Each structure stands twice: as C-alpha cells, then as structure tokens.
Amino acid sequence: MELIKLDNISKFYGMGDATTVALDNLSFIVEKGEFVSIMGPSGSGKSTLMNIIGLLDTPTHGSYLLENKEVANLSQKDRARIRREKIGFIFQTFNLIPQLTVIENVALPLLYKGASYVKRMEAASKVLKSLDLGDREYYLPNQLSGGQRQRVAIARALINKPSLILADEPTGNVDSKTSENIMNILKDIHKKGNTILMVTHNPDLAEYGTRVIHVIDGQIEEKNRSTQNKKKATKKTNKKAGKK
C-alpha cells in the first residue's frame, strides 16, 4: 500500500535570475512499512524533500498524496493537523524545548491534539519507559547526554503513533557507539510496522534502511545499484537485526 506518492514535485526559491531549483520534477513512492534511507551531498535537496514530505513546506508545483489524499496545497491549519496526527519528527539537533522537562517535551504533541493532562502524562511516561528513560522523566534536557536526548526526541516522535517517522540525520550529533544504539532503536520501531524516512550522510547507517535513494541536484537518482543488490542489503540488515 502506498503511503507517500510524490508526482513531479518541484520547489523553487527566489525569483527571476535568482531562482534556485531545490527539487526538480521529482517523483517518488514510499510503501507502508518501508525504511527508506535518503542520501545525497549537501545542497542536493534532501532537506527540502523532507520538509515537503513532513508538510512543513509546500511544493511550488506537483502532487503529493499521503495515504491517498492530496496534501500538497492544504491550508496551514490542515497541515498542522496532519503533522500532529500522522507524522513524527526526529531531528539531528534533538530540538527539545529546554525549559520543559523530559516528560513535558514528550507529551507536547498530545497537548495540541487536545488530550487531558493525565492522559498526556500517562502516555508520555509509557513511551519513555519503553525507551529506558523512565528514571529521567523530570530531568531537563540539558541534564541528559546526547544519546538520552535523542531517545527523548524519538519518544516524542512516537507518542502520537504516527503513520510516518521522518528522521533528519538522527545520529549526526552523537558518538559512534550511541549512534549504533539509536539506529537499533529505529530498526526496532521499523520492525513494529512503522514507516521511516531517514536522511543520512553515512553509507553504513543508510544500510539499516530497506531501501536507499540518492538525491542529486533536486532529483532522485537510483544509483546503478540493481534491485538484487538492494535486496541483498536488506537481507544483510535483517540478519544484523536478527543477531541482536
């Protein structure tokens, strides 16, 4: 089942001679349950693509179907509603609100959904415990390590049980050991049936995905990596996961 279908999506910035093409007639399908790794050099359009898929930005033209519904040109209010109901974000810099405690940060998406205080806190506590952060609920973000902060951000992304998780270089700000730990968490989340789109610069981490795509000059370039190779990579990843 198609979760995301992008059809001839373009994004331009600026006007006249100063126009920059960030995405150039890009078409792309993500099936439900996929773990897609997106790679590409800086300035290739990866972030713009993530912002459009995450409904933080709108394309200049083209069609975007999310769960078979056109969402490319929705109002800001409707985009906000879909973000809080269907999408979870994990950022490279964690993006936790410094003045809120861990549990308050995790519970925040439910506030905008209109859940009561007790329900928000119960749900947040449950997710935090599942990520081994049960004893850190009332800490402030600056009292946590980088890995713990990213786990809190993952908990926040999961609390709404989203259809789609967007991770923008989730291990970009942590050391290699923590990085592996974070990737294993994402792998577990994927195994539970979640769809994940992850931007990364690291080819090793990209292999955690069931599919790797490259964005170059605003277009998706399927590298000369055959479907067979791709399947091999997927098997390898699954094997790794099985061992652990």
CA distance 47 to 68: 23
Using CB under 8 A as the criterion, which residues of the chain lie in contact with other proteins when the complex forms? 51, 54, 56-57, 76-77, 80-81, 83-85, 89, 91, 95-97, 99, 108-109, 111-114, 117, 156, 160
The residue among 21 and 241 lying less far from other proteins, judged by its C-beta, is: 21
Least Å from the CB of residue 89 to other proteins? 5
Assess contact for 111 and 100: CB atoms under 8 A: no
Least Å from the CB of residue 191 to other proteins? 24
Least Å from the CB of residue 10 to other proteins? 16
End-to-end CA distance of the chain: 29
The residue among 12 and 91 lying less far from other proteins, judged by its C-beta, is: 91
The residue among 116 and 226 lying less far from other proteins, judged by its C-beta, is: 116
Assess contact for 178 and 3: CB atoms under 8 A: no
The residue among 29 and 97 lying less far from other proteins, judged by its C-beta, is: 97
Distances (CA, A) of 207 to 9, 37, 42, 81, 234: 26, 8, 19, 32, 7
φ/ψ (deg, to 5) at 131:
-110, 25
CA distance 156 to 158: 5
Which tokens belong to 244? 């652990």
Least Å from the CB of residue 239 to other proteins? 35
The residue among 52 and 131 lying less far from other proteins, judged by its C-beta, is: 52
CA distance 244 to 241: 5
Report the run of H or E that residue 141 belongs to, with start and end. none
Alpha-carbon torsion (188, 145, 164, 21), positive or negative: negative
The residue among 12 and 180 lying less far from other proteins, judged by its C-beta, is: 12
Least Å from the CB of residue 21 to other proteins? 17
Least Å from the CB of residue 235 to other proteins? 34
